[in-house]
């Protein structure tokens, strides 16, 4: 078996791992940077680089929890839901925000192509974490649309796309049902219109 086949076999074992199955340590600054370097290998028509990653350090989780809780309160959630929102800031030993900057003023690179780049960057980032021995999961929820959270993470023209949590998995990841390639690939037929 050649190195490429071994790498494909390793990538075939990558599944999302939820926060309750992740333990410390999370990625180091160098490991986050290495994953970001791989994210830069995503197809990027026009070289716009419509994404960036923001690491939330352990000492910053309390502040983030406050933002999450205030947002839940402003949305009229119950006290129990507010506490659940607060707790989400502590999901996973490592936490990163994926920030997108998708522009509509680049005629040669329409927004949908830029979003494809953001998604490809996310996948490369998560594949890199997997190959370094981490479990990871992309999460969204109400926090990505919350105005205060947006202000805390985004500059002009940017949008918080999602969160990535990462840590050491405590159990093997499990594929989702129906995750066979035959469900998503076929040959082209002229009559498929």
pLDDT surpassing 90 at residue 146: yes
Whether the model clears a pTM of 0.85, i.e. scores above it, the answer is yes
CA angle 23, 13, 144 (to 5 degrees): 55
Phi/psi for 39 (5° steps) reads -60, -35
CB 92 within 8 A of CB 26: yes
Residue 75 host element (H or E):
none
- The one-character DSSP state at 129 is H
Could you please report the per-residue DSSP string of 93-108?
A: SEEEEEEE---SS-TT
Question: Minimal CA–CA distance to 100: which of 142, 60, 44?
Answer: 44
pLDDT digits (tens, 9 = 90+) for 41-84: 999 999 999 999 999 999 999 999 999 999 999 999 999 999 99
Architecture of domain 17-58+93-166: 3-Layer(aba) Sandwich (3.40)
Domain limits of the chain? 17-58+93-166
pLDDT digits (tens, 9 = 90+) for 74-121: 999 999 999 999 999 999 999 999 999 999 999 999 999 999 999 999
């Amino acid at each position: 078996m050649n190195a490429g086949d071994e790498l494909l076999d390793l990538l075939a074992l990558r599944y999302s791992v939820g926060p309750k199955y992740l333990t410390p340590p999370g990625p180091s600054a160098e490991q986050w940077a290495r994953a970001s370097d791989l994210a830069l290998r995503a197809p990027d028509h026009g070289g716009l680089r419509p994404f960036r990653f923001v690491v939330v350090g352990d000492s910053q989780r309390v502040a983030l929890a406050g933002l999450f809780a205030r947002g839940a309160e402003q949305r009229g959630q119950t006290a129990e839901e507010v506490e659940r929102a607060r707790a989400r800031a502590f999901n996973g030993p490592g936490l990163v925000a994926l920030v997108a900057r998708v522009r509509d003023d680049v005629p040669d690179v329409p927004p949908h192509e830029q979003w494809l780049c953001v998604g490809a960057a996310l996948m490369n980032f998560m594949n890199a974490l997997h190959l370094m021995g981490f479990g990871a999961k992309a999460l969204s929820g109400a926090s990505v649309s919350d105005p205060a959270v947006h202000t805390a993470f985004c500059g002009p023209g940017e949008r918080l796309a999602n969160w990535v949590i990462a840590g050491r998995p405590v159990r093997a990841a499990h594929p989702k049902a129906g995750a066979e390639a035959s469900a998503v690939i076929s040959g082209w037929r002229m009559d498929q219109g």
